[in-house]
Amino acid sequence: MVAWGQQVELSIPDVQGVPGGEVWVSIDVTIPEGIKVFSGQFTLVYDPEMLSCQEVQVSEVLEGYS
C-alpha cells in the first residue's frame, strides 16, 4: 500500500487449518519511521466457501480505528 509516496507494508502469514477448525490470522502492518497514519482502509478478500470471518481483534497499534 502506498500513501503520499511512502510504502506501508501489510503482511499476512501462510496458515493452514482443518475443516471445522479455527485459525487466527494476524495482519501485520509495517509503517516507516516518521510516518503517521491517521486513517486507512483495506479489503481482505477470501473464499466464503472455504473460510468465514468470525471476529476481528484490534491491536494496540490500531486502537481507536474500526
The yes-or-no verdict on residue 66 having pLDDT over 50 is: no
User: With contact defined as beta carbons under 8 Å apart, do 52 and 22 qualify?
Assistant: no
Q: What is residue 25's predicted lDDT score, i.e. its pLDDT?
A: 85
pLDDT tens, 41-53? 777 788 888 888 8
Domain boundaries, the chain: 1-66
Cell of residue 22, nine digits: 479455527
Residues 52 and 44: beta-carbon distance below 8 Å: no
Backbone conformation region of residue 62, classed left if phi is above 0, alpha if psi is from -120 to 50, else beta: alpha
